[in-house]
Structures are given as structure tokens and as C-alpha cells.
Copies of this chain bind each other. A is one copy, B any other.
Amino acid sequence: MAASTLTEVARLAGVSPATASRVLNGSARTPGPDIAERVRNAAESLGYIPNAQAQGLAKSSSGLLGLIVHDIADPYFSAIARGVQDAAREQGKMVLLATTGGTPADERVAVAAFAARRADSIVIAGSRSTRPADQDGNAELAAELDRYCRNGGRVGVVGHPVVGASASEGYHVVAVPNEELAAELARQLAANHAQEFVIVAGPEGLLTSDDRVRGFQKGLAAAGKPPAEVMHSGFDRAGGYEAGQLLAARIKADQASGAASSRPCIFAVNDVMAIGAAAALRSEGLRIPRDASVAGFDDIETLRDFRPALSTVRLPLEEIGRLAALGTAGNSAADVSAGAVTGQVTLRRSTETPPQVAA
């Protein structure tokens, strides 16, 4: 028993399909009240559900919004996803989800799939990469997106424009002031930390990571500090843990030798990495903030109960998702500027300097 069709409803109501269509969906023309009533009753009794595919085909617009994330289980992305979902609901759209693991090649595939489904717009979250290995992938992704835009699609990007994308019509990027905020974080940390700074970064070439590293170094410089050492690792908890282990060994060695520069201030470029690093230190018997300061970035909600409370930079993730989705709605140039987002350096216990340990 297949779902009933508009035609069936029309027949039961004794009207033409055209009329039925007009009353069941908002058309410019509104049939008479009595007819409308009849049609609505017929639809009701048949349990009529319009076929969105057919509707989409007919008016070439699908009511779909494609969302591309690296990993939906990552709290960073799921927070953004919530914002996107919210905005989509407001626009009466449904969201199509694609997770790609962050490789441009997979992202290209996802874009193509969205294009095939005639998604009205696409939101891409997740860091862009400039790694040489991703170069071809980036080019193809950019080409795919450009084509999508040329065909009338609108795309919203979180963070950086897609590498190599020509700034064609329909592009909207929600700028995240990673660099500025990282600099500000560095400045505030520098005020209380005499010891060396270490940056636990993601893979080189990951734009978000690179920006935060650069900003942090600038902030350090502005505060008259020497640049921090940068350790590259995975952009996730495991990466942070790995770096943390290295650091733990070093700290313990320093402590054993009574060297001056123990108790480093560690800046991990995102909260999840920071947690990983902290876990590594702890598993080596070190304590935070006694033996090291740790700061992250993002202010992931689920991690706010972490102890010691993590110093970080609050980013309005959900809002960012909203803006990215909203930016693809209608309008145009004007809202590009409105797409700016602000964060907030948030110092907590993990970077407190114990008075008794002061230099």
C-alpha cells in the first residue's frame, strides 16, 4: 500500500489536482473556502503526505541544508551542529549530515552528494587544511563548491574560506577570530607566568591550529616573551595525550635536576587536546596547576566540569553554527560583516600560579 498522492486526494475531494495542490501548499492563489475545506478533509482522511521529492523536482528547491563536519561525535562539531539545526528549523529546512574525517577528498564527495540532492545550501564546519597531501583534494573541493554555487547553491563556511575557492556569489564565511583570541589569551597568561610556554598544536597546515599558534606567539611577543616551542600532534585528545607524555617526561627531568624552567605553561590549541595533555601529565603523577599550567581553546560545554577547571577561550559554537546556516539563507553581501563572532578569554584554575611556587 503506497502512500496516497495528491491526485487521489483531488479525486476524493472532487476537484482537480491543481486545486488540491493550491490548497494544501501555500500558493499565490487561494481556492474558495468550501473547496479548501473539502480538500483538507480528503487529505486528512487519506493520511496524505506530500512527496517532497516530487515537490522539489517541480519547484527545484529541496528544503534541504547540507552540513559537513569532521566528526559528529566531537563536542566541538556537535555544538555547531545544534546551532545549524536550529537555524534550519527556523527556515523550515531539514539538515542532511555528512561526516568526513576532515579530508578534503571526502568533503568533495559530500558536496557532490548534497548537490545531487539539490540541497539549497551547504554548511562546512571543520578546519581547512593546507597540507601538501591535501592540495589536490582542496582543489577538487573548491571546484565542486564553485560549481555548486554557480548552479545557485549557497555555502556557509566556518572559519576559513575553502582553500582555493574563488569568491563567487553565494559564499558566506563566518569568521572566527582565532588569531586575535589566541593572542589575547597569551597576553593574559604572560602576565602571570614567568616560566616557559609550550604550544601543543595540531598537524602543521591545519588552518585553525596554525592561526591559534600564530596568535599565541604574537601575544607572547607583545608581552615581551620569547616565542614558545611548538609541538605538533593530532588535533584530538590522543594528540594532546601524546604531547602531554613528552612534556611530562621533560618536566620530571627538569624537576629532578632542579632546573629553573620546570612548570611550563602549556597552551593546547583546543580543549580536547588540552584535556588529553592534562590526562597525560596526571598519569605521570604531575598535578595541574602545581607542576604545569594548561590552557585550551573552545570552551567545550561538556568539559566545563573538568577539574582543575580549564582556562580556555570561549567560543559561541552554537551561535557560529547558526550564523553559518543563516548566512546561506537569502540576503547577500550585507550579512557577511554580520557574520563576525566574538570569543572570550576565560582564565580558570588550570592556569593559576601557586604563590608558593612563584619564581
Contacts and interface: CB of A to CB of B under 8 A. Distances in A.
Nearest to A74: B78
A275 B118 contact: no
A73 B82 contact: yes
Interface residues of A, number: 56
A275 B306 CA distance: 9
A147 interface: yes
A306 B52 CA distance: 45
A73 B62 contact: no
Interface stretch (A8-16, A35-43, A95-103, A125-133): A95-103
Work out how many copies of this chain go into the complex: 2
Given A50-B116, A279-B305, 16 more contacts: A47-B147, A49-B112, A51-B116, A51-B118, A52-B113, A52-B118, A53-B53, A72-B81, A73-B75, A73-B301, A73-B318, A74-B78, A96-B97, A302-B303, A305-B306, A306-B307
Interface of A: 1-3, 47, 49-54, 56-57, 60, 62, 67, 71-75, 78-79, 81-82, 85, 94-99, 112-113, 115-118, 147, 150-152, 237, 272, 275-276, 278-279, 282, 300-303, 305-307, 318
7 contacts: A51-B118, A52-B116, A73-B82, A75-B302, A96-B96, A97-B97, A302-B303
